[in-house]
A and B are shown apart, each in its own frame.
Chain A
Amino acid sequence: MKQDFKILGTRPIRPDGLEKVTGKAMFGADKSATGMLHARILRSPHAHAEIVSIDTSKAEALAGVKAVITGADFDEVENRWTRYTMQNCMAQGRALYDGHAVAAVAATSKKIAAEALKLIEVEYKTLPHVTDVDEAMRPGAPLVHEGVKGRKLGDDVSGNTVGYYSFGHGDIEAGFTKADKVIERNFKTAATHQGYIEPQACLADLGADGRGELWCSTQGHYMVREVCSEILGIDASQLRVTASEIGGGFGGKTTVFIEPVALKLSQKSGKPVKLVMSREEVFRATGPTMSASMDVKIGMDKNGKITAGHAKLRYQGGAFPYNMVMMGAMSAFACYDLENVQSEGWDVMTNRPKMISYRAPGAPMATYGVESVIDELCQKLGLDPIEVRLKNAAREGSKSSYGPTYKAIGLVEALEAAKAHPHYAAPLPANTGRGVACGFWFNFGGQVSVSMAINTDGTVNLIEGNPDIGGSRASISMMAAEALGIPFERVRTIVGDTASVGFSDVTDGSRVTFAVGIATINAAKAAIKELCKRAAMIWEIDAEAVEWVDGAAQPTGHNAGNFPPMSLAEIAATSGKTGGPIAGHHEGAPDKAGVSFGVHLVDVEVDPETGFTSIKRYTAFQDVGKAIHPAYVEGQIQGGAVQGIGWALSEEYIYGEDGRLQNPGFLDYRIPVASDLPMIDAVIIEVPNPGHPYGVRGCGETAIVPPLAAISNGVAQAIGKRLFELPMSPPKILKAL
């Protein structure tokens, strides 16, 4: 389905660009209100403790303090998952991790709020805690919650084990007997944080009449509205949520941490309340991703054919039940067409902050294990790692390891591009290794709502309900312009608040360009239908005798009438006299977001003296279906790759014996900085997704999946020894040497 596009595939300046380079763009913490209070949250210093009592009287007596709340201020929430979210925002009964919120204050200044926190007296009774996934899963481990053990789980695992998932087909034992070489390894990966530069921030104003306004930094303001209205017991219609510009999310802003607290403080004080997290709070109390302990066993014959694969994934997701290991189990072997495959996963609770999605949640660690073992098999059997992956690669018609049969996919194309790229043939200096790995992500569709108005001057306003986390206003405007046949500059896309357009799912799963794109195209179709109808009325011919070509109505043929094309602007100009405003809208829940594959090539150099690994060259290949705005697609690939580099080499949550987080700051939790990196070459592959009119797949997440293994494979080649634990920090490399 090769299509010719006028606008798609070009690189216009993003419509929200000027505000963002001049400091005008309003992020979460940038908004203030008259009479506003400042809030602060008191957090548990213990990994696990019973909250015996909280005395807030001294804090309440401090001049300038207008409200103090604790878990007792929140009513029981019926829905179990919403209850966990609420209890993560404010502890009830027990503090479940270091940094868990136990009380909050709103005062007339930041300083008074901070003073008031010191006056809150909390009596704790410490309880046994557990922060390691394997320890937490062992029978007899301290339980984070009682009575939430996953159904159908046996006595061999503790009650912290909240879920079990298994995927696969064939007979893995038979498959292993056919192998010439079988390798089984245990891997560990540390918990990492999304590391968005903007801490969570909101401004809440909730009156005694139950009407509220909430401004916040989020990936989904409809989600915020649903969760907060449920927790506070108010009508969804009465809480209007406006998404601020969002300073990074990467999955970390797909839930709430502070909004219910700010709303409750506002309700209690009768004033607007601003609540902004500190960086330390972000690390201690917002969701990092899961840490993992994994066993991966793969058999390969001497020609490089994988005969069987088996992965066991144990993920730690913090202090509340969750279900995310499933995505790891589903994606572990998704790159390959295998006869015999099984992947199993266990979700485990610990006394750590509640995990939340981080870019392709669950996939990078499982893929790290699988792609590492495949690499080791290639080494041991003397086979080329790209050839082996090509031999086993999933393609159209392959039955995936997680169930569905693939439609048109682009893994083979990505592997062929990597094989043919000069990077793959370039010479390697001493102490340097070249790693290769593949990765997969599902991409989602989901609920979406778009409203498009055709203005009388021939311009278009489009309202949609997904925060723009990385240039989606640009890609949506481009698709609208393409569909209508008008210049990009004539479209303005606005992220509407929750009262202005219908429900829209969270900006996650790389879904926005896909799903909002489909809704935009359908809204444009509806508007075009009306535009054609108006032209037909003016020409006094049948509406069916009018078609839309290049941004203008025209008769379908000479029989229909002999009229010159009438442009969108011309039709719109007289719309007031031909039946009123012209608009189009679409609401839906599109599925068929095409899966996406990536292949990463990396050259790493390891300093034998210090154990420091540096990235010398990096090339990432990814099938995105259709790149609407290629520069922002490259940006997604580059950004994902670099987050993966951090995960592989330097980022980790470090807990002490006391269960306290030891590195809640950017100094000690080290994300990659500019001087750590080379340029990241992003190579866009376009195998159109049959499920989207323009062929779009999601593109945001896949790129974080391959780097962990690619870098580990490169390090293994550089130093002649393989590490089985991330991050591969200098001390671990030196120990291996």
Chain B
Amino acid sequence: MARVVIFGSLRAFTDGVERMEISASNTRELLKKLSERHPALAEVIEAGVSLAIDGEVYKDAWFTPIGSNSEVVVMPLMVGG
């Protein structure tokens, strides 16, 4: 089970829940399960989020593998400069 951390202002869409465990093998699966568990977050996820998996930041990628003991931080989508 990956340890998922909902970061900062995104918690407003999870009724304040900050930490949860989700079983998922890749980012798409994790985001899908997260959307089902917290429907308010679905629209935000649809618009785009960034993920930090064990410290590495990933943008907009579906098939990034997630280890069974990974920490996944869900953040707002990072935009460019």
Contact = CB atoms under 8 A, between A and B. Distances in A.
A–B in direct contact per CB < 8 Å: yes
Interface of A: 151-152, 164-168, 251, 254, 323-324, 326-327, 329-330, 344, 357-361, 402-407, 441-442, 444-446, 505-506, 508-510, 589, 591-592, 691, 701
Interface string B41-71: 0000000000010111111110010000001
Nearest to A510: B81
Contact of A446 (B8, B59, B71): B59
A171 to B, nearest CB: 13
Contacts of A329: 8
B12 to A, nearest CB: 4
Given A402-B7, A404-B73, A591 B61 contact: yes
A406 B12 CA distance: 26
B8 A444 contact: no
B80 A403 contact: no
Contact of B78 (A151, A358, A442): A442
A591 B80 contact: no
Contacts of A508: 80-81
Nearest to A444: B80
A166 B7 CA distance: 8
Contacts of B81: 251, 254, 327, 357-361, 441, 508-510, 701
B56 A164 contact: no
A361 B80 CA distance: 7
A72 to B, nearest CB: 30
Contacts of B80: 251, 254, 357, 361, 444, 505-506, 508-509
A361 B81 CA distance: 5
Contact of A691 (B52, B56, B60): B56
A323 B79 contact: yes
Interface of B: 5, 7-9, 12-13, 52, 54-61, 64, 71, 73, 75-76, 78-81
Contacts of B71: 405
Contact of B7 (A167, A254, A407): A167
B63 to A, nearest CB: 10
Nearest to B55: A405
A442 B57 contact: yes
Contacts of A589: 60-61
8 contacts: A152-B12, A167-B75, A326-B76, A327-B79, A358-B81, A591-B56, A591-B59, A591-B64
A330 to B, nearest CB: 8
SS class, residues of chain B in contact with chain A: mixed
Given A403-B7, A405-B54, 10 more contacts: A165-B76, A166-B8, A166-B9, A323-B76, A344-B9, A360-B81, A404-B57, A407-B56, A444-B80, A589-B60
Contacts of B58: 591
Contacts of A360: 81
SS class, residues of chain A in contact with chain B: loop
A358 B79 CA distance: 12
Given A403-B73, A446-B59, A589-B61, A167 B79 contact: no
B8 A165 contact: yes
The interface centre, meaning the residue of B8, B57, B61 with most chain A CB atoms within 10 A of its CB, is B8
B52 A168 contact: no
A58 to B, nearest CB: 43
A324 B59 CA distance: 16
A326 B64 CA distance: 24
Contacts of B12: 151-152
A505 B57 CA distance: 17
A165 B73 CA distance: 15
A327 B12 CA distance: 19
Contact of B55 (A168, A251, A404, A444): A404
The interface centre, meaning the residue of B58, B73, B80 with most chain A CB atoms within 10 A of its CB, is B80
Contacts of A406: 55
Contacts of B61: 589, 591
The interface centre, meaning the residue of B5, B9, B56, B59 with most chain A CB atoms within 10 A of its CB, is B9
Contacts of A151: 12
Contact of A165 (B9, B13, B56, B59): B9
B47 to A, nearest CB: 10
A445 B75 CA distance: 17
B75 A402 contact: yes
Contacts of B55: 404-407
A342 to B, nearest CB: 8
A324 B77 CA distance: 10
Contacts of B52: 403-405
Contact of B5 (A403, A445, A509): A403
Contacts of A361: 79-81
Contact of A592 (B7, B8, B56, B73): B56
Q: Nearest 7 A-B pairs (CB), nearest first? A: A404-B52, A508-B80, A405-B55, A403-B73, A167-B8, A166-B8, A166-B9
A360 B79 CA distance: 10
A326 B12 CA distance: 15
A575 B52 CA distance: 45
A152 B56 CA distance: 29
A442 B81 CA distance: 10
Contacts of A446: 59
A167 B12 CA distance: 12
The interface centre, meaning the residue of A402, A446, A589 with most chain B CB atoms within 10 A of its CB, is A402
A133 to B, nearest CB: 19
Contacts of A442: 57, 78
A168 B79 contact: no
Nearest to B76: A326
A554 B6 CA distance: 52
A94 B63 CA distance: 44
B42 to A, nearest CB: 13
A505 B60 CA distance: 13
Contacts of A330: 75, 78
A404 B5 CA distance: 10
A441 B71 CA distance: 22
The interface centre, meaning the residue of A166, A359, A445 with most chain B CB atoms within 10 A of its CB, is A166
A562 B79 CA distance: 54
Contacts of A359: 81
A164 B9 contact: yes
The interface centre, meaning the residue of B12, B64, B78 with most chain A CB atoms within 10 A of its CB, is B78
B9 A591 contact: no
Contacts of A323: 76, 79
Nearest to A595: B57
The interface centre, meaning the residue of A164, A344, A404, A592 with most chain B CB atoms within 10 A of its CB, is A404
B61 to A, nearest CB: 6
A514 to B, nearest CB: 13
B73 to A, nearest CB: 4
Nearest to A345: B9
Contacts of B54: 405
A168 B5 CA distance: 12
Contacts of B57: 404, 442, 591-592
A640 to B, nearest CB: 11
